[in-house]
Structure 1
Amino acid sequence: MTPENRSPHEPTPAHPPSSSHSHGHAHAHSHGPAKPVSAHLRKVIAAVLIPFAAAVLTGLAVLWPGGAPDHPHSGLGLDRQTESGRVVKIEEMDCTKAGAAPQQPVRQQPGGEGGPPPPPRGPCEKSEIEVTSGPHKGRTFTELVQPTASRHYSVGQKVILAYAPKAPEKLQYSVTDVDRTLPIALLAGLFALAVVAVGRLRGVFALIALVISFGVLTLFILPAILQGSDPLVVAVIGGSAIMLIALYMCHGLSARTSVAVVGTLTSLLLIGLLGALFTGWAHLTGDTDDQTGLVHGLYPQIEIRGLLLAGIIIGSLGVLDDVTVTQTSAVWELKEADPGAGWRKLYGAAMRIGRDHIASVVNTLVLAYAGASLPLLLLFSIADSGVGTVATSEIVSEEIVRTLVGSIGLVASVPVTTALAALVVSADRHTAGTKPGARGRASKASRGGRRRRAK
């Protein structure tokens, strides 16, 4: 065991190796985990994080919802009773004979007069569906699919059925979606296999942290917002809990991880402040799509602007974790490679790494938001309005604020986390209980004593 990796409570050998070459060789080939910081710094970090963790636990206990509240029937298919079904037979037939109503909108004729829509091109598909679950298992009904429909079925395909118990018998069941359980489960299995194969034990912990994070989201954040709690407060508490669990579970309970936690927390605070400032200044309501309007209609007590801020914080959390952990690890590894490096040298070297990271991650963040809003961008690309008018409309401004606020927090996390990590490793005390130059002076004194005895 090298002196650098010795526990603070282990005694120092009476005759440490005097050869600087052997000491440097042993240090150069030490590829174990990062050296622990001193007890003094551990106490300082604990004094910062323990009250924060206690506040998060208190917030979870106070705001814990205990399940989603009851709500009125929406009538839009989101809360209908569903059963399983299977396509057992498909028969092609003429759409006119089947009595199918054409789906095309009325088109304007060249003469300027509206004419009747043309009949559907191609045959219709009369699908026979069998109910495979519920009280009417084994019952069959027919579903007519027009040639212009976006979804067509195949024999043997599993489907999801909407069940209306109070409707007439022939209208109780209808196909509402296809069953995607198998492809989604297979894809999830491939993802888990790839993570474990590359990450090994750390990959296993990452998957466990992912499951816990999803649990916090579905068991705390969403029900608490539906119960009427402030979405911003819920997002801060839930996001902080996710951050603590994910970082410490994936990267271990160490000073390195704690510095990443502090850097992430500081950046989230900045994102929350900027988000609140600019959503208010730009008069963004957050009510820009049908889903938000539906939620607000069912639960009028939800503060929609707070919901927008909550989405900004939660959406930025995952990328922040990546940046802060990378920067903290970079500082620690630079210190391992050059133990004599001071704060300024460590900060400068790590920032060169961070600038490359910023350039790639910010581009990733913007493209991720653009990809999620691609249909919206397509609609605006064919509009007659100018770029300025489109960019300042509420539906686009909301995405711009979301993207830019998250990007500012992301950029700020690099210098903040790098400075914290450099300060921690530079201010660390020697773990053997002696000052950094004491071993060299003791070695010189022992050599001088041996020379005097030889004389």
Structure 2
Amino acid sequence: MNTIVVLAAILLILMILVGGAKGAKSFIALFLNFIVILFTVILMLNSHNNPVVLTLIACIGVSAINLFYINGINSKTVIAFVSTLITISILLLLIYLFAKKAMIQGFSEEEEEGISIFSLHIGIDFVKVAVSLIIISTLGAITDVAIAISSPIREVFHHHPKISRQELFGSGMVIGRDILGSDTNTLFFAFIGGYMALLLWFRDLSYSFGEIINSKVFGAEMLTIFCGGIGIALIIPIAAGLNAWYITKYVQGEETKQFE
């Protein structure tokens, strides 16, 4: 416990030194997001509550914290927020279809021995739980890309106020292409880092490559990575298009307009 407190203190100090007041807000946002997710999980324990609906509500709360609490309420964060919700809505149907088709819900064979003493008749649809897990796993990357697109587009317009809508959208897409590769790789390395012990266990159990690829736990994580990558790819044109539309329609030509 002392180690966790020390690491949290180091993180807080570094975030304040680097980010100032916004860094302190970012640190507080970590705990606020944790509370939202924890409260969502508690509500899921009630079989009458729909896990997907609860997750969508949680996504709204987490996105609002990450965007509005940290960066303030302005047109830049509002558009990033709307872009996030649109992308999550599109991604939701895709995730549900593939999660059900891939049959990744429930527990894997590797987990059966540890849970065999417990009853699994808990009255919760595990397909919806799997969908909720994937949505929450991809939310952070999607929100990050949304603000990472909105902010540079505003800077581009600030320095080139006569830029056209098509050129502004093109600038957003150029920025997005640079973000796409790095963020997708971030999701991949997060999986490798989190499941390194599992991969070593697969090796000790003499799993073949085919058995590893077809295992439920591996398939679930790969589905999460691919859905996250799809979400990142979707939000880039959505955020770029909404920002270009808003700026050229409501901001361009107003010399006294403030962006912050």
Q: TM-score, normalised by structure 1?
A: 0.52
What pairs up with 1:242-321 in 2 under 5 angstroms? Answer: 242-288=62-108, 290=111, 293=115, 297=119, 300-321=122-143
| Deviation larger for 255-264 or 240-249 | 240-249
Q: Structure 2: which amino acid aligns with 1:365?
A: L
Could you tell me which residue of structure 1 aligns to residue 232 of structure 2?
A: 410
Higher relative contact order (Cα pairs below 8 Å, separated by 6+ residues): 2
Give 1:209 shift: 2.1
Note if 1:216 corresponds to 2:62.
Answer: no
Could you tell me which residue of structure 1 aligns to residue 59 of structure 2?
A: 239
Q: In terms of Rg, which structure is larger?
A: 1
Residues 296 and 424 of structure 1: CA distance in aligned 2, closer, same or farther (over 3 Å): farther
- Tell me, in whole angstroms, the C-alpha distance in 2 between the residues paired with 1:347 and 1:312: 29
- Tell me, in whole angstroms, the C-alpha distance in 1 between the residues paired with 2:107 and 2:94: 20
Could you tell me which residue of structure 2 aligns to residue 82 of structure 1?
A: none
Give 1:376 shift: 2.0
- Tell me, in whole angstroms, the C-alpha distance in 1 between the residues paired with 2:248 and 2:58: 33
Residues 303 and 183 of structure 1: CA distance in aligned 2, closer, same or farther (over 3 Å): same
- Tell me, in whole angstroms, the C-alpha distance in 2 between the residues paired with 1:321 and 1:349: 19
Structure 1 vs Structure 2 CA RMSD: 2.3
1:192 to 8, 12, 15: 12
Q: Structure 1: which amino acid aligns with 2:156?
A: L
Give 1:422 shift: 1.0
What pairs up with 1:92-241 in 2 under 5 angstroms? Answer: 181-218=1-38, 220-228=39-47, 229-241=49-61
Higher strand share: 1
- Tell me, in whole angstroms, the C-alpha distance in 2 between the residues paired with 1:297 and 1:250: 42
Tell me if structure 2 keeps the 8 A contact 1:285–1:304: yes
- Tell me, in whole angstroms, the C-alpha distance in 1 between the residues paired with 2:89 and 2:56: 9
Tell me if structure 2 keeps the 8 A contact 1:287–1:304: no
Residues 425 and 294 of structure 1: CA distance in aligned 2, closer, same or farther (over 3 Å): farther
Could you tell me which residue of structure 2 aligns to residue 373 of structure 1?
A: 195
- Tell me, in whole angstroms, the C-alpha distance in 1 between the residues paired with 2:207 and 2:117: 30
The unaligned stretches of length 5 or more in structure 2 are: none
- Tell me, in whole angstroms, the C-alpha distance in 2 between the residues paired with 1:401 and 1:359: 17
What pairs up with 1:417-428 in 2 under 5 angstroms? Answer: 417-428=239-250
Deviations 1:349-397 (A, max 9, x none): 2211111111111001111012111122223345655434431232221
Tell me if structure 1 keeps the 8 A contact 2:138–2:227: no
Percent identity, aligned pairs only, is 27
Give 1:297 shift: 2.8
Could you tell me which residue of structure 1 aligns to residue 223 of structure 2?
A: 401
Give 1:233 shift: 1.5
- Tell me, in whole angstroms, the C-alpha distance in 1 between the residues paired with 2:82 and 2:156: 20
Tell me if structure 2 keeps the 8 A contact 1:296–1:304: no
Residues 296 and 319 of structure 1: CA distance in aligned 2, closer, same or farther (over 3 Å): farther
Deviations 1:207-250 (A, max 9, x none): 232222112122x2121011222222111111211111221011
- Tell me, in whole angstroms, the C-alpha distance in 2 between the residues paired with 1:432 and 1:366: 44
Tell me if structure 2 keeps the 8 A contact 1:217–1:238: yes
Q: TM-score, normalised by structure 2?
A: 0.88
Higher helix share: 2
Q: Structure 2: which amino acid aligns with 1:287?
A: F
